[in-house]
Chain A
Amino acid sequence: MKNNSTARNTSGVTKLLRIALYSVLLIMAFFYLMPLIIMLLTSLKDAEEVRNGTLLSLPGSLNFDSWSKAWSGACTGSTCTGISPYFLNSFKIVIPAVAISTLLGAINGYVISLWKFRGSNLFFAALLLGCFIPFQVVLLPMAQTLGWLGIASSTTGLIFVHVVYGVAFTTLFFRNFYQSIPGELVKAARLDGAGFFTIFYRIILPVSTPIIVVTVIWQFTQIWNDFLFGVAFSGFDSQPVTVALNNLVNTSFGGKEYNVDMAAAIIAALPTIVVYVFAGKYFVRGLTAGAVKG
């Protein structure tokens, strides 16, 4: 920098490097965006255009027929109701499962970090392992248990499964968050006569908003995107949207309609994409918190 000629020289090289840098970043952006763009283009074409055009050819006119067919007319397996009933099923599973697992996680995290007792850390370590086991190990025993409980192939059964295997993660999130709350705070409140739930409700919960948002978003994404539990434990009436989408795409009855497949795929992805776009910051925080701390 002290020498003028080298400075000019470096800035020329730097400029070239910057251009290269931006090119790589933009090419990669294209790589990530391309499938979504092509899905969107394909979903707006009619059957003729899909057959004769290429991936990148533009639809002749904006044609939303395949969207309405995907929503309410396409065949998944032997029924032709579109994916709308399954889309609703997913919500019926996701909303209670997220609410219950988040609430349990908050209470568990509160106990594990602020009301430690002998064995609570051991329990936490044991629970942590539950975040990581391959769920193939629990599929068959869980199928039997659901049968005994009389909730096999039902929405209730799926909610139960998602709560059971989601609680490990939600507890982890809340425990790590509450770790930073000083124990003296709880001690002082106890001396003032506040009980277990009063402290939770009046002191802890009001400061928990950020971690609640992170947990709800994480759980929502996980459960919405689940396929394994959905395909193993759902019945005909309780299939989540991921299972229905897979059936729809693999139903070859009456010829393949790629435009309908793509529209259905976008519909199935829409809720989590919307969450990501509007609350991406929290989504990323959940991902990295679950990853780095876990």
Chain B
Amino acid sequence: MKTNIANSGSEKTQSGRPARFNLADWMPKIVLAPTMLIAIFCIYGYMIWSAVLSFTNSRMLPSYKFVGWDQYERLFNNDRWIVALTNLGIFGSLFILICLFLGIMLAIFLDQKIRTEGALRTIYLYPMAISFIVTGTAWKWLLNPTNGIQKLMIDMGFENFKFDWLTNPDMVVYCLVIAAVWQASGFVMALFLAGLRGVDGDLIKAAHLDGASTFTTYRRIILPSLKPVFFSALVILSHIAIKSFDLVQALTNGGPGYASDLPANFMYTYTFTRSQIGMGSASAMVMLGCILAILVPYLYSELRGNKNEK
């Protein structure tokens, strides 16, 4: 961190020679400048821009007539937004919990010197390489009551089998959970498996010598040492949940009605198809707030942790 090799220019001044403009010294800054400018404009500038729009009465086109917190008030009085937020709560917590559970379980199981580990790992993780649109299309077909799993079970002889969550407004959000877990749980497995492989082998040997069972070793020694992996997984999964848009679009298109809308879909619909730019921007700001609430403490602890290491 301390070696500052780009500063040879100022060294010269210190040694008494006149400072002169040296292109080589400026090169790093010149090279970084385009990214810097674009990033600052397209990330922070746009954030502010959206924030500004959320306080205006913009409808089909952006306008800059300020109306204070009106859009936020309208937003939280909007039934569809409340449904989307509630769905995010249900979808997000179930998705995160099930992914963590499955991912940790599979990682530990795969860590037991399984002969076909490589193949199994490949199978568990491949959904992560696929677009949520493809996932949505596939599960739409599987979950659809007329031709999908319900029909399969009925034809197999379970005549009263009912599995119509996709068309049931009260249950449709669980369809999102199923498909999203299918896609992302293998990723949690990969994270934890990498973590397990990084645990100090001597520690485990010592525990075994002390007579600890495999189960106890995992519970008391290995898993606690994976806390950082756990938090990374938690942050990434909540991030995926809050940003979920494609999956809803492909699997349910928000329906039936708007029963399976998530905030990202609400934002898109209101901004681009319903000409409610002000309210759309307000909803985007709420999403940003959710992500920052998760991210800032995480990044803070990460950066502080890094500093302590060095």
Contact = CB atoms under 8 A, between A and B. Distances in A.
A24 B46 CA distance: 48
Contacts of B50: 137-138, 140-141
Contacts of A258: 141, 147
A245 B152 contact: no
A195 B239 CA distance: 41
A95 interface: no
Contacts of A107: 31-32
A195 B24 contact: yes
B22 to A, nearest CB: 11
Contacts of B194: 284, 288, 292
A246 B250 contact: yes
Interface string B258-287: 000001100110011000010011011101
A167 B41 CA distance: 14
B253 A276 contact: no
Interface string A121-144: 001011111101111111111101
Interface residues of A, number: 95
B66 interface: no
Contacts of B28: 111, 115, 117, 120, 196
A291 B191 contact: yes
A138 B46 contact: yes
A249 B182 CA distance: 20
A224 B131 contact: yes
A238 interface: no
A186 B8 CA distance: 13
A137 B46 contact: yes
A120 B232 CA distance: 25
A269 interface: yes
Contact of B5 (A28, A35, A187): A187
B127 A32 contact: yes
Contacts of B46: 137-138, 141-142
- Most A CB within 10 A of own CB, among B24, B40, B147: B147
A142 B242 CA distance: 20
Contacts of A51: 147
Interface string B40-60: 101111110110010000000
B139 interface: yes
Nearest to A225: B131
B243 A134 contact: yes
A83 B3 CA distance: 54
A287 B43 contact: no
Interface string A243-282: 0011001100000001001100110110011011100100
Contacts of A249: 137, 140, 250
B291 A133 contact: yes
Q: Is the interface of A mostly helix, strand, loop or mixed?
A: helix
Given A127-B39, A242-B131, A117 B152 contact: no
B5 A288 contact: no
A204 B122 CA distance: 32
B132 interface: yes
Given A130-B43, A225-B131, A288 B191 contact: yes
Contacts of B243: 134-135
B127 A195 contact: no
Contact of A138 (B40, B43, B110, B272): B43
Contacts of B246: 227-228, 242
Given A56-B152, A141-B45, A227-B249, A25 B4 contact: no
B271 A227 contact: no
A151 interface: no
B299 interface: yes
Interface residues of B, number: 101
Contacts, number: 270
B109 A25 contact: yes
Contacts of A140: 49-50, 53, 62, 271, 277, 280-281, 284
Contacts of B264: 134, 136, 228
Contact of A136 (B131, B134, B148, B284): B284
B124 A28 contact: yes
A130 B5 contact: no
B6 A227 contact: no
Interface in B83-112: 102, 105-106, 109-110, 112
Interface in B1-46: 1, 3-8, 24, 27-29, 31-32, 34-36, 38-40, 42-46
A262 B242 contact: no
B24 to A, nearest CB: 6
B149 interface: yes
Contact of B3 (A21, A108, A183): A183
Given A29-B120, A134-B243, A38 B288 contact: no
11 contacts: A33-B123, A54-B151, A126-B39, A127-B35, A141-B45, A228-B245, A249-B140, A268-B133, A276-B126, A284-B125, A291-B187
Interface of B: 1, 3-8, 24, 27-29, 31-32, 34-36, 38-40, 42-47, 49-50, 53, 62, 102, 105-106, 109-110, 112, 114, 120, 122-135, 137-142, 147-149, 151-152, 155-156, 182, 186-187, 190-191, 194, 228-229, 232-233, 236, 239, 242-243, 245-246, 249-250, 253, 263-264, 267-268, 271-272, 277, 280-281, 283-285, 287-288, 291, 295, 299, 303
Given A120-B28, A133-B288, 6 more contacts: A112-B32, A117-B29, A137-B285, A139-B284, A141-B46, A141-B50
